[in-house]
Amino acid sequence: MEFRYVNFAHIGFRKTKDRPRMKIAFFVNAFPMMSEAFIANSAAALIDQGHSVDIFGVGNVTPTGLSVKSVEDHHLERRTVNMSWPTSRLGRVAGLPGALNTIARKNGVAALGRLRPNIYRRSMRDLTAVYQASAFGRDGEYDILHCQFATLAEGVIKHRKAGFLKGHIVVNFRGYDISETVAAIGPHVYDHVWSEASSYVANCDYFRRRAVDLGCPEDRIDVIGSGIRLENFPFEPATDRGENHVRFLMVGRLIERKGFQVALRALAEFIRRTETPIKVDIVGDGAMRPGLEALANDLGLGASVQFHGARTHSEIAGFLRHTDVFLAPSMTSARGGQDAPVNTLKEAMAVGRPVIGTIHGGIPELVIEGETGVLATENDVDSLYAAIIRLMDQRANWPQLVTRARAKVEDMYDLDRVTERLVTLYERTIARGNAHPTD
């Protein structure tokens, strides 16, 4: 079927048998990032449905790489602009003529008058607004301007007010933006967003409720999780490998919020009390790696724990197939950071591995005690140890446990289902915006 691009901003949206094609812009800090496979998955799935997706990395951040090899044939790099500018003010001043010339060349000299201090304020003072504006296309016209993290909404709102972007704004709450950012700046951090965005998305109900408490219009926020490509994680429940040890796996950035330091202590306690031999694979990298390696040695786990560094999604799938138990010991960080149901937890459940999560953020929406996994109190060594014992005692019930877990993941996070929900939200956003235009 051939798709024809229709700009809904200028006509009344009408849903027909064949859905019209939408032009969508994703705003992220940088793309691709190894820890943000959900961005690549979502963009590729929308493209597969016939929509157009451009990706703007607006954070002056260096991309860390694409972890989802299955979307390489979508050539998302051709659709991506990672914005960059000098970190020093002197450097930004030196590069200013070039950025202004780019804006004038794309949009005409008159467009320079859009760079008004009363719109951009501090981003005009530090000149980042000019560098960002120079990276947008000639008309910057989209049906949907999707801020994948709420912290990026302020800049998108300003660029739309200045006329460098056009479209209906959708704002996502994913984790740090609704936890650490709010803790650092305060509960009014998004007050300027509520009247400007058309729709909101939270990746779990826990974050939806937090957003509503901050002032988000309750009738304009949906819960849509980060989808995963289940074909990359086929259901393969573990069989007896004939080994005398239990193999545990943890995957994620090596930062405080992931709670790996708590898990190592709980696993050491498990060995001490039960004398059960274990192997522990830790996949991921981060600032805490040296400290975690030292902790493992101090706890006497050095020979049992192997740190593998960051790996691709296909490699992570391999680790999942060769483990017995997956641990997701997330905890609230000292800076207030919290997690939704983490993607690697979904992937472990999809493959058919029993999981242990924590009563933290959105995790209990996926891991249901005794039904799809077991839960521990966050940042509590004794509770996590008890959860490990509980799971081991239920070993005869693992086949039923992992079957229910797989069904839960399919229902909540299958990429096709998630994409359908997202497209429906986009359509509703456009229809509502055209009925009550705010631009």
pLDDT in tens, 146-195: 999 999 999 999 999 999 999 999 999 999 999 999 999 999 999 999 99
Peptide linkage before 354 cis (omega within 30 of 0): no
Which tens digit of pLDDT belongs to each residue from 187-243? 999 999 999 999 999 999 999 999 999 999 999 999 999 999 999 899 999 877 667
Q: 49 Cβ partners below 8 Å, 6+ apart? A: 19, 419, 423
In one-letter notation, the amino acid at residue 156 is V
The domains of the chain, with CATH numbers, are 8-83+135-227+414-435 (3.40.50.2000), 230-413 (3.40.50.2000)
Handedness of CA 404, 200, 252, 270 (dihedral sign): negative
Q: For residue range 14-48, what is the model confidence (pLDDT) as tens digits?
A: 343 467 899 999 999 999 998 899 999 999 999 99
Side-chain-side CA neighbours of 19 within 13 Å: the count stands at 14
Cα–chain center distance at 37: 7
pLDDT-based confidence at residue 432 (cuts at 50, 70, 90): confident
Q: Tell which residue, 342, 320, 318, 316, has the closest CA to residue 329.
A: 342
- Residue type present at position 23: K
Length of the chain equals: 439
> Distance (Å, rounded) from C-alpha 74 to C-alpha 70?
9
Residue 376 vs residues 118, 257, 266, 340: alpha-carbon distances, Å: 50, 15, 11, 16
Closest to 168 (Cα-Cα) out of 194, 190, 189, 141 = 141
- For 64, the token pair is 């860390």
